[in-house]
Structure 1
Amino acid sequence: MLAALCAATAAIPLVYLVVRTTEAGLTELLATLVRPRVLQLTVNTVLLAGAVTLSCLVLGTICAWILTRIRFSFQRMLLLVSALPLAVPSYLAAYGWLVWFPQLHGFWASWFVMTMVCTPYVTLPVAAALRGASADLESVARTLGRGPLRAFVAATWPQIRPAAIAGALLVCLYSLSDFGLVSMLRFQTLTWGINAAYGASFDRNQAALLALVLVVLALVVVAGERRSRRQVSSVPGRSTMPARPAGKYGVVYVAVLLAAPLAGVVVPVVGLLSRLLEAETLRAIDVPRLIEAIGATLGLALAAAVVAVLVALPIAALAARYRGRLVAVIEAVGFLGHALPGIVVGLSLVFFALAAVPMFYQTSVVLVFAYVVLFMPRAIGSVRSGIAAVPTSLGDVSRMLGLSPFQAWWRVTARLALPGIAIGALLVAISAMKELPATLLLRPTGVSTLATELWSRTALFEFGAAAPYAAALVLVAMVPAVLLSGIRGTAREN
């Protein structure tokens, strides 16, 4: 029952959004959907998400193949560097590129920067799948006369396809929900339209209807991924393909691997530092305001991490120990935030707070709740893995020794699952620090985070004034990222 109640919290924004749109009436709903402007925003959104997903799928798979099939003397460093773009918010990458090229805008600019930022979402899971993939069928295909590429596609691709599709799902959802990058690069998508409709009118029904369109697109993507996952079967075999020396193409392989880190991290960070170190920028830094933004960012992220883990614990514990249709439904509802764009959750909670709990409107309570809905799936996954790794027999022995069920869980299971719980909390904290659209809509009056300060200045093309907040965001987000790496490293050693 507790797990079901916790999971139900994730459904509140979507349920209320549906209620709000039905109040507008079927006539207004249909009239809004067929407007040329709405159709154009929808087409732009689908085109960008499709192009970015396809590009990341191709580039990410190639990078994963290089990382696992080609041997370098600095293999671990290349793997680490390949993951670096994940640490940079898309709007921060866009800001860095605008520093160098102020006229950068439109579809192709958005496609390029977002592809460079999102490629690791495919590279990392596909690389892991390739390491465990059987090489038997590929070897047979090669002996039958097929070339390396045809043998890989016929024999190995079916084995790694689930990982590739899972990574592509993350890329597609990221592209659909992105607000900061497309706004900075002036490419109008549904997220841009939702924000414009919300800010420009006292009638917020159009914003709600656009948000519902975006949710439908996201849910269609998730449903498609689940359908394709069910159609995949495992391939027997134990041998794996050995890595071969880089040889004369080593420079080409390294260049391909470094494309995303260079474009997604190095270029933006160097641009950021170049603006930050300008004398005029250094003199203009408002230190008290910067410190206040850092404090707000850390405080909100910490609160979101604690609450998200507390809400995720009952769901994760249930999913780790039990099977069944009801358990699957509860877990799926808990993961609902995974498919909801931040701007949709923010808009839904604006409506919900004003109608149901007006005393909490524009307070930290609603903003933290939005973070919990959006990022609870990250906590559920990590906590579930941590609990599942603890043998149930340990809890049984503890209860035989006289401990109550709660005492046995707290003293044994929770302690052994602590690395997974901590990883979940850190993942939520990192995500909350970088979240932009929900924070813009729900932040308390007079409170600004590093993300919103960066956004407000870049929206006015004040790139020099934005530099201190961008640098601080990178440094602050590195703290949980470093802790996360340390916990994972310790877990592997143990």
Structure 2
Amino acid sequence: MFSLLPLGYVGVMTADAGWDTIEKLVFRPRVGELLFNTVALVVVTVPICVVLGIGGAWLVERTRLRAHKVWAVLLAAPLAIPAFVNSYAWVSAIPSLGGLFGGVLISVLSYFPLVYIPVAAVLSRMDPALEQSGSALGLGPWRVFFRVVLPQLRLAAAGGALLVSLHLLAEYGAFAMIAFDTFTTAIYDQFRSTFNGAAANMLASVLVLLCLLLLLGESKARGNARYARVGAGAQANPSRLALGGFQAPAQLGLAALSVLALGVPLFHVGRWLVAGGAEIWTRDALATSLLQTLGYGLAGALVTTILAFPLAFLVIRHPGPVSKLLEGANYISSSMPGIVVALALVTITIHYVPGVYQTAVVLVAAYALLFMPRALVNLRAGLAQAPRELDEAAQALGKPPLVAFFKVTLRLTAPAAAGGAALVFLGIVNELTATLLLAPNGTRTLATEFWTLSSEIDYTGAAPYALLMILLSAPMTYLLFAQSKKVAGQ
């Protein structure tokens, strides 16, 4: 039930508003403008991310690209830079940046790894016999790619495209910084001006509807087809295609993409650090923000992983309609933008549990709602490798059921749980919108302090916070990349 709070909130608020209010607040030019901006952003950004993600993954995993192992890491690395930090860097480079072009530029450079990582993982483990069969039938390299390889990437690419789309709907800081209005930026502005007013709630309803449409669209695109091999398959490494005269253009293209996605933000963060000198590192708020970010990150990761474990256990050990329903509810809630989750918790706590309003408990609850699937997916994989027969064997050797569970199941699941907790931690470190709305008075995280300073055009003061977020995110991003390769090989 906890996971359905955001969706239930939107439904209740919409029903209580009545048709007259809905018609007045939804069917107006301003909403049409926001709808155009948001839909145009998704329609333009997602295909570019898909092309870059699939193209980069194919070059790294399927061609004789020089230094392909280096490029493999560099193409995943932009995920370590929060989108709002990317926006801050590009505004530093081009102060007039804005509009749909600015939104698409920042979004593509921030989110194309969400397609690249799963596609690269599939390509690295795909049975080479499939391509060999296509070649044996007389298909050339390009026809093998489009007729054999590309269909195998359908699920990974569709999933990555969905993640990019949901991030675009949820993103606030990156677009607010370039004054590009989307539903999320408008909801936040409405909330600040009217505090939980009807206008913000109606905009949230439209945003949630867009999220649900995206989930439905991804489900339809995925279909019922399964792309898997039965048995171990061929153990040989896939053959790599010689690039020949395309080697130099491929290297230049990847270099240009890396410079835009990594070089520009890192250069401008470094530029502002140098301009600020040693003084910007001596501010008391910097240490406080780092400690509070670590505290919330660790607490949120621990709570989320603990809450996800019973559900993962139910899904793996007792599969059925109930477990599938509960699991699906968590995925739907996590697809809700952070601002919708925050509005739901604000409304619920004010009306029903005012004692916990704007406390750390509510903020950690929001993190759990937003990032539960990151822990759930990892725990499912870990529990699948600890079948109940091992527990039964331990009990047959005289171990009590609880002792057998801790010594066998929990021990085997621990690495997967740690990986899931690390990914939750990464999400919390870079979370901005829900933290801005729900954080207790006096709370200072790296993200909120960065946002406060950059909004005041204090770019030198914001630079240390940007650097610390990148440094905290980098190892977690590498873990995500490495883990995706491992999961693809299971």
Q: TM-score range by the shorter chain?
A: over 0.9
Deviations 1:37-72 (A, max 9, x none): 011101111110121111101111111111122124
Q: Which residue of 1 aligns with 2:28?
A: 35
Q: Aligned-pair distance for 1:246?
A: 3.8
Answering whether residue 356 of structure 2 is matched by residue 360 of structure 1, we say: yes
Matched letter for residue 121 of structure 2: A
Q: Distance in 2 between matches of 1:492 and 1:410?
A: 28
Q: Which residue of 2 aligns with 1:5?
A: none
Q: Distance in 2 between matches of 1:490 and 1:439?
A: 32
Answering whether residue 142 of structure 2 is matched by residue 149 of structure 1, we say: yes
Q: Distance in 2 between matches of 1:416 and 1:138?
A: 36
Q: Aligned-pair distance for 1:337?
A: 2.9
Q: Aligned-pair distance for 1:251?
A: 2.2
Matched letter for residue 7 of structure 2: L
Q: Which residue of 1 aligns with 2:467?
A: 471
Matched letter for residue 428 of structure 2: A
The 1:268/1:396 distance shift into structure 2, 3 A limit, reads: same
The 1:144/1:284 distance shift into structure 2, 3 A limit, reads: closer
Q: Which residue of 2 aligns with 1:415?
A: 411
* Helix, strand or coil at the partner of 1:219: helix
1:218-229 to 2 correspondences below 5 Å: 218-229=211-222
Deviations 1:128-175 (A, max 9, x none): 222344555655655666554344222222221111111111111111
Q: Distance in 1 between matches of 2:334 and 2:379?
A: 16
Matched letter for residue 466 of structure 1: A
Q: Aligned-pair distance for 1:407?
A: 2.2
Q: Distance in 2 between matches of 1:119 and 1:485?
A: 13
Taking structure 2 as the reference length, what is the TM-score of the superposition?
0.92
1:177-256 to 2 correspondences below 5 Å: 177-202=170-195, 204-234=197-227, 241-256=238-253
Q: Distance in 2 between matches of 1:230 and 1:482?
A: 31
The 1:172/1:351 distance shift into structure 2, 3 A limit, reads: same
The 1:394/1:331 distance shift into structure 2, 3 A limit, reads: same
Q: Distance in 2 between matches of 1:373 and 1:490?
A: 26
Q: Which residue of 1 aligns with 2:98?
A: 105
Matched letter for residue 448 of structure 1: R
Q: Percent identity?
A: 34
1:287-326 to 2 correspondences below 5 Å: 287-326=283-322
1:11-410 to 2 correspondences below 5 Å: 11-134=4-127, 148-202=141-195, 204-234=197-227, 241-278=238-275, 280-410=276-406
Farther-moved stretch of structure 1 (184-193 vs 134-143): 134-143
Matched letter for residue 67 of structure 2: F
1:294–1:449 Cα contact (<8 Å) kept: yes
Farther-moved stretch of structure 1 (463-472 vs 239-248): 239-248
Matched letter for residue 80 of structure 2: A
1:364–1:444 Cα contact (<8 Å) kept: yes
Q: Distance in 2 between matches of 1:203 and 1:86?
A: 32
Q: Distance in 1 between matches of 2:98 and 2:261?
A: 16
Q: Which residue of 2 aligns with 1:441?
A: 437
Q: Distance in 2 between matches of 1:134 and 1:236?
A: 7
Q: Distance in 1 between matches of 2:54 and 2:23?
A: 41
Q: Aligned-pair distance for 1:318?
A: 1.3
Matched letter for residue 273 of structure 1: G
Q: Distance in 2 between matches of 1:43 and 1:147?
A: 42
Farther-moved stretch of structure 1 (340-349 vs 230-239): 230-239
Q: Which residue of 2 aligns with 1:3?
A: none
1:281–1:465 Cα contact (<8 Å) kept: no
Q: Aligned-pair distance for 1:488?
A: 9.1
The 1:74/1:137 distance shift into structure 2, 3 A limit, reads: closer
Deviations 1:406-441 (A, max 9, x none): 322111111111110000111111100100000000
Q: Distance in 2 between matches of 1:45 and 1:118?
A: 16
1:424-435 to 2 correspondences below 5 Å: 424-435=420-431
Q: Distance in 1 between matches of 2:115 and 2:37?
A: 23
How many equivalent residue pairs? 486
1:21–1:205 Cα contact (<8 Å) kept: no
The 1:323/1:489 distance shift into structure 2, 3 A limit, reads: closer
Q: Aligned-pair distance for 1:233?
A: 4.0
Deviations 1:425-482 (A, max 9, x none): 1111110010000000001111111101111122222212211211222223346557
Deviations 1:69-88 (A, max 9, x none): 21245332221111101111
Q: Distance in 2 between matches of 1:472 and 1:234?
A: 40
Aligned CA-pair RMSD: 2.6
The 1:131/1:490 distance shift into structure 2, 3 A limit, reads: closer
The 1:384/1:349 distance shift into structure 2, 3 A limit, reads: same
Q: Distance in 2 between matches of 1:137 and 1:409?
A: 41
Deviations 1:177-204 (A, max 9, x none): 1111111111100001101111112561
Structure 1 segments unaligned to the other structure (5+ residues): 1-7
1:11–1:333 Cα contact (<8 Å) kept: yes
Farther-moved stretch of structure 1 (418-427 vs 97-106): 97-106
Farther-moved stretch of structure 1 (473-482 vs 265-274): 473-482
* Helix, strand or coil at the partner of 2:153: helix
1:116–1:259 Cα contact (<8 Å) kept: no
Q: Distance in 1 between matches of 2:332 and 2:74?
A: 31
The 1:68/1:347 distance shift into structure 2, 3 A limit, reads: same
Q: Aligned-pair distance for 1:176?
A: 1.2
Matched letter for residue 244 of structure 1: L
Deviations 1:203-228 (A, max 9, x none): 61111111111111111111221222
Q: Aligned-pair distance for 1:290?
A: 0.7
Q: Distance in 2 between matches of 1:212 and 1:198?
A: 14
1:135–1:156 Cα contact (<8 Å) kept: no
Q: Aligned-pair distance for 1:18?
A: 1.9
The 1:454/1:75 distance shift into structure 2, 3 A limit, reads: same
Q: Aligned-pair distance for 1:257?
A: 2.9
The 1:231/1:285 distance shift into structure 2, 3 A limit, reads: same
